[in-house]
Chains A and B, each alone.
Chain A
Amino acid sequence: MDINYVIGKFLLVTILFAISLVIAMYSTYAERKVAAFLQDRLGPDRAGPFGILQPLADGVKMFMKEEIVPTNASKWLFMIGPGLAMLCACIGTAVIPWGQDLTINGKAFPLQVTDINVGVLYIFGVVSLGVYGVMIGGWASNNKYSLLSAIRAASQNISYEVAMGLSIIALLVMTNTLSLKEIVAQQHGWHWNVLYQPLGFIIFMVCSFAETNRAPFDLPECETELIGGYHTEYSSMKLGFYLFAEYINMFVSSAVMATLYFGGYNYPGMDWVATLVSPNTAALLGTLVLFLKIFAFIFFFMWVRWTIPRFRYDQLMNLGWKTLIPLAIANIVITGIVIAVVNKF
């Protein structure tokens, strides 16, 4: 094994972790600023210029708080819960291609941690594992409200995973591959999948809102019914981990949506930049474009949160099972027919 290869991958993983953590940190700040903007307020503005140090202050506060473990809680599982939530949130970034290959000293260096040929399914695996953090935490707290909320979270995630999986099948039928690298490469320039799969994209987006437990699907932490939700008994940084994992999940699902449907690092005129300036500049510009797309999605997540009220539980289930799943199946059938017709002629 090449030592440069190992160092390169190590650097890439470290940078990715740092980026996801920093983005998640500043998402909390952005969320408050966006909320303030939408409600005609100022938002946090005391810590540093424009309140830019607010996330640091929050982090310090979380660490300094007293840590309480309920007497009858299952001690180990109580600790494993938030850890698992954080782990599942962080490992999703491994298969996303962050840019075209960089050429350093004549060697190609891919900006992707690993290109497994079941990349899309890996993302699904990580998503489906994510629910254990919530379930274990909710059960281990030994609190009825936490348990109810954990069970809500589990049934919500399982229901929407089905629609999510079905919505993506139409995309896979079209692209003929499960590797995220190839899916992005096929969307070269402006041939973004969202132009061919608008319905699939909408279903996928609604499902990712539900999978990340974001409003309007934030029933697992519905405080009017369940006190605080699955993390009622949590305090200090354990609570912080749960809240933080939600923001990392938001970042990862924005990245997945940008990669699958909005062309990832592709942008119109990328060949032009590559020939006129240099391929490396074009690749780095592509990474920048990908992050701009991700930020746009994160803003959209926040916009929706402060605009649409929370669903009722039966509305949530009806939407998932009776609207999204039939729509996703119809989308598969239509895509199949169109592809068959196009291949025929």
Chain B
Amino acid sequence: MGTSVFYFVATLSIVCSLLVIFSKNPVHSVLYLILTFFTFTVHYVLLNAQFLAVVNFIVYMGAIMVLFLFVLMLLNLNKENEPNKKALVKILGVIAGGCLIVTLVGSLKAVSINSPLVLQNPNLGLVKNLGKELFGTFMLPFELSSILLLTAMVGSVLLTKKEEI
């Protein structure tokens, strides 16, 4: 049953992410992106990573996408005032996308060569175990990334106050 649920949700994620690209209206795009994130949450639940699932739900669906939607609704984008992209930019975009595909295919190939992934501790995704792991084994990277976030926060506050400095 688990496998069929996975294939169903995976199909949904792919369809939703394709709709993000192909919808004409940017607000619809963002709404499809929210649906895509929701399917990711379901994937995390299927992997028994409850904490990650619920945090993905709160942070990505509940906060970040609200801000995206916020900006797009205020901008009120439509076809007429969309800036015309130059041909060079389009070609560069295609090249960048192609590079990404090559990288992805390459990394997937490396995975298939290795022996199938064995999870050492299937309950790693539960809050208690994840917390112990983050504050024990990965203490330094965890704290460094929090400093990075703090820097970003201070930076954004400074940007709003630039006239006083």
Which B residues lie within 8 Å of A129 (CB)? 57, 61-62
Which A residues lie within 8 Å of B127 (CB)? 117-118, 178
A218 within 8 A of B: no
A135 and B69 contact, CB distance less than 8 A: yes
A151 and B73 contact, CB distance less than 8 A: yes
- Minimal beta-carbon separation of A157 from chain B (angstroms): 8
Given A158-B66, A161-B62; A121-B55 close (CB under 8 Å) = yes
Partner of A150 from B55, B57, B73 at Cβ < 8 Å: B73
Interface of chain B residues 21 through 58 with chain A (CB within 8 A): 27, 31, 34, 50-51, 54-55, 57-58
Closest to A136 in B: B31
What is the bound-complex CA distance between A131 and B63, given in angstroms? 10
B8 within 8 A of A: no
Closest to A151 in B: B70
B100 within 8 A of A: no
Which B residues lie within 8 Å of A178 (CB)? 127
Per-residue CB proximity of A106-146 to B under 8 Å, as 1/0?
00000000001110011011011101100110010000000
B61 and A128 contact, CB distance less than 8 A: yes
Which A residues lie within 8 Å of B50 (CB)? 116-118
- Minimal beta-carbon separation of A174 from chain B (angstroms): 16
B66 and A131 contact, CB distance less than 8 A: yes
Interface centre among B27, B58, B126 (most CB of A within 10 A): B58
* Consensus secondary structure, chain B interface: helix
Count of interface residues, chain B, beta-carbon cutoff 8 Å? 20
Which A residues lie within 8 Å of B62 (CB)? 124-125, 127-129, 131, 161
Count of interface residues, chain A, beta-carbon cutoff 8 Å? 25
What is the bound-complex CA distance between A305 and B107, given in angstroms? 58
Which B residues lie within 8 Å of A206 (CB)? none
B74 within 8 A of A: yes
What is the bound-complex CA distance between A15 and B63, given in angstroms? 32
Which A residues lie within 8 Å of B74 (CB)? 151
A13 within 8 A of B: no
What is the bound-complex CA distance between A117 and B60, given in angstroms? 21
Closest to A77 in B: B31
A90 within 8 A of B: no
Closest to A165 in B: B58
Per-residue CB proximity of B70-87 to A under 8 Å, as 1/0?
100110000000000000
Per-residue CB proximity of A157-186 to B under 8 Å, as 1/0?
110010000000000000000100000000
What is the bound-complex CA distance between A147 and B73, given in angstroms? 8
What is the bound-complex CA distance between A139 and B26, given in angstroms? 13
**A interface list, Cβ under 8 A from B:** 77, 116-118, 121-122, 124-125, 127-129, 131-132, 135-136, 139, 147, 150-151, 154-155, 157-158, 161, 178
**B interface list, Cβ under 8 A from A:** 27, 31, 34, 50-51, 54-55, 57-58, 61-63, 66-67, 69-70, 73-74, 126-127
9 residue pairs of the A-B complex, CB under 8 angstroms, read A121-B55, A122-B54, A125-B58, A128-B62, A131-B62, A132-B66, A135-B73, A136-B31, A154-B66
Known: A121-B58, A122-B54, A139-B27. 6 other contacts (CB 8 A): A77-B31, A118-B50, A128-B63, A128-B66, A129-B61, A132-B66
